[in-house]
């Protein structure tokens, strides 16, 4: 299976990792939309938030824990945004579940 985020998790595609545990990797987005923009993924291949089930939902908690720990490490004291795009209308372009973590600028709401 061809998956760019699985390849990043395995270190087969280079990335700038900012955080890693047994289950989670976070790395700098290649096309940053804010001065701080990292992508948080599980090492396990789950295609999207729509594929979270009663069997695997613990990974979503680990992804949010990663964001919380990254925020402390990076001293994002003014806050941040976590976004999970899901499916075509959600604007998802990579079919491996991920959170965008954006910070260090004032982010508008609602999103476009
Ligand atoms: P989405 O559009 O929500 O699926 O987000 C995918 C994100 O992955 C985009 O923000 C891309 O810039 C980012 N991305 C894609 N390929 C890479 C890569 N090789 N390294 C880092 N970020 C990437
Ligand atoms: Zn994958």
pLDDT tens, the chain, 112 aa long: 799 999 999 999 999 999 999 999 999 999 999 999 999 999 999 999 999 999 999 999 999 999 999 999 999 999 999 999 999 999 999 999 999 999 999 999 998 7
C-alpha 12 to ligand 1 mean position (Å): 16
57, burial (CB in 10 Å: exposed 0-12, middle 13-18, buried 19+): exposed
Peptide bond preceding 61 in cis form (omega within 30 of 0):
no
Q: Which of 22, 42, 31 shows the shortest CA–CA distance to 84?
A: 42
Q: Is 37 assigned a catalytic role?
A: no
Distance from C-alpha of 70 to C-alpha of 100, rounded to nearest angstrom: 12
**Of all atoms in ligand 1, which is nearest to the CA of residue 83?**
3
């Amino acid at each position: 299976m061809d998956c760019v985020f699985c390849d990043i998790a395995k270190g087969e595609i280079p990335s700038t990792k900012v955080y890693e545990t047994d289950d989670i990797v976070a790395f700098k987005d290649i096309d940053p939309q804010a001065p701080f923009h990292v992508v948080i993924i599980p090492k396990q291949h789950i295609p999207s938030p729509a594929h979270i089930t009663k069997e695997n939902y613990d990974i979503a908690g680990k992804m949010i824990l990663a964001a919380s720990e990254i925020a402390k490490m990076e001293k994002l004291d003014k806050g941040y945004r976590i976004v999970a795009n899901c499916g075509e209308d959600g604007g998802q372009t990579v079919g491996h579940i991920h959170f965008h973590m954006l910070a260090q600028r004032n982010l508008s709401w609602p999103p476009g």
